[in-house]
């Protein structure tokens, strides 16, 4: 199916316990931060942190699926990450291939739908090819959406949405003065995904860093000092339990 990609050795989803979660987010955004510091603490090169981060990401995806989350968006590479040393960027651009090589079988088995947001056209050709194949492998699946934000920036996404709208106006397919918030959603990269309910950021940083800016307007935010490679399904479970206790009023009063 995923030609050239190896077979997964992972335990089946059925073997993983599913906790009872009455109220849970439909869509979780994960800002996977702290890979570099995790490596530095161990005297390892930064790329070792990214490798460990990839393994933590694998576990987070499995846990989201086991917990019955409909969609998870993973901030894998931002539009600002190009400023990093070329060797680190090169490693990050090769991670998707490494990841899907070992994980695609399990993702297919889990009926997951792989999606990407961000400007894929500016990625190296080999990364684009990996992206294309990953989408293709799961295109008929109907389960959890695993959405990778790759070369993604929230502002860039909004600018691109404005461009799409302007083009439709010019072509007579949209009318000025009738644009609603719901209609704006349709011009974004996340069109069709469930509303973002919860954003989790690791490593003690308390900011969004250009992640899903429009979509996070009413999302609950959850921060932890845990560095991303150390993030476990127990941490995810804690975040979801805390989310369940939050009172979401969307600007109204009770
Ligand atoms: C931020 O930590 C993390 C990243 C820039 C990369 C995150 C990517 C992954 C976890 C794996 C992606 C894999 C696929 C398949 C898309 P940092 O390097 O900024 O950490 P620091 O703040 O401690 O330096």
Pocket test for ligand 1, best of 38, 53, 100 (most atoms within 8 A of CB): 53
Ligand 1, atom 22: nearest CA belongs to which residue?
34
Question: What's the pLDDT score for residue 21?
Answer: 74
Q: Hey, how many other C-beta atoms are within 10 angstroms of the C-beta on 233? A: 18
Q: How far apart are CA 148 and CA 81, in angstroms?
A: 15
Question: What's the pLDDT score for residue 77?
Answer: 98
Domain boundaries, the chain: 24-153+195-210+240-245
- How far away, in angstroms, is 46 Cα from ligand 1 center? 9
Quote the distance between the C-alpha of residue 197 and its chain's center.
Answer: 13
Q: Hey, how many other C-beta atoms are within 10 angstroms of the C-beta on 111? A: 14
Ligand 1, atom 8: nearest CA belongs to which residue?
76
Question: What's the pLDDT score for residue 249?
Answer: 78
User: Which ligand 1 atom is at minimum distance from the Cα of 88?
Assistant: 18
Which residues does the annotation mark as catalytic?
A: 33, 81
- How far away, in angstroms, is 50 Cα from ligand 1 center? 5
- How far away, in angstroms, is 33 Cα from ligand 1 center? 6
Question: What's the pLDDT score for residue 253?
Answer: 74
Question: What's the pLDDT score for residue 20?
Answer: 66
In the structure, which protein residues have their CB atom closer than 6 angstroms to any atom of ligand 1?
A: 32-37, 50, 53-54, 57, 76, 81, 92, 95-96, 99, 148, 203
Q: Give the predicted TM-score (pTM) of the model.
A: 0.91
Ligand 1, atom 1: nearest CA belongs to which residue?
33
Q: How far apart are CA 161 and CA 213, in angstroms?
A: 13
Record the tokens describing residue 240, joined without a space. Answer: 């979801």
**What Cα–Cα distance (Å) separates residue 186 from each residue in 8, 141, 171?**
36, 22, 17
**Which architecture, in CATH terms, is 24-153+195-210+240-245?**
3-Layer(aba) Sandwich (3.40)
Question: What's the pLDDT score for residue 19?
Answer: 58
Residue by residue, pLDDT tens for the chain (254 residues) are 343 333 333 333 333 355 567 889 999 999 999 999 999 999 999 999 999 999 999 999 999 999 999 999 999 999 999 999 999 999 999 999 999 999 999 999 999 999 999 999 999 999 999 999 999 999 999 999 999 999 999 999 999 999 999 999 999 999 999 899 999 999 999 999 999 999 999 999 999 999 999 999 999 999 999 999 999 999 999 999 999 999 877 778 76
Question: What's the pLDDT score for residue 14?
Answer: 38
What's phi and psi for 97, nearest 5 deg? Answer: -65, -45
Question: What's the pLDDT score for residue 12?
Answer: 36
**What Cα–Cα distance (Å) separates residue 237 from each residue in 70, 88, 98, 171, 197?**
15, 31, 27, 48, 15
């Amino acid at each position: 199916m995923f030609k050239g990609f190896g077979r997964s050795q992972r335990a089946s989803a059925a073997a993983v316990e599913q906790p009872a979660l009455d109220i849970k987010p439909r869509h979780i955004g994960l800002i996977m931060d702290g890979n570099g510091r995790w490596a530095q603490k161990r005297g390892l090169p930064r790329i070792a942190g990214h490798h460990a981060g990839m393994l933590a990401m694998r576990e987070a995806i499995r846990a989201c699926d086991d917990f019955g989350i409909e969609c998870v968006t993973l901030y894998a590479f931002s539009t600002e990450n190009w400023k990093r040393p070329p060797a680190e960027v090169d490693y990050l651009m090769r991670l998707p291939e490494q990841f899907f090589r070992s994980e695609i079988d399990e993702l297919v088995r889990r009926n997951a739908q792989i999606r990407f947001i961000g400007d894929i056209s500016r990625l190296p050709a080999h990364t684009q090819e990996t992206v294309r194949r990953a989408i293709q492998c799961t295109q008929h699946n109907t389960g959890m959406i695993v959405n990778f934000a790759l070369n993604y920036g929230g502002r860039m996404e909004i600018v691109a949405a404005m461009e799409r709208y302007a083009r439709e106006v010019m072509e007579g397919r949209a009318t000025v003065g009738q644009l609603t918030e719901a209609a704006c959603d349709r011009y974004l990269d996340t069109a069709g995904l469930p509303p973002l309910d919860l954003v989790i950021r690791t490593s003690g940083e308390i900011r969004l860093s250009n992640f899903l800016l429009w979509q996070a307007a009413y999302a609950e935010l959850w921060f932890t000092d845990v560095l991303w490679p150390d993030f476990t399904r127990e941490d995810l479970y804690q975040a979801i339990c805390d989310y369940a206790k939050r009172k979401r009023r969307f600007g109204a009063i009770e």
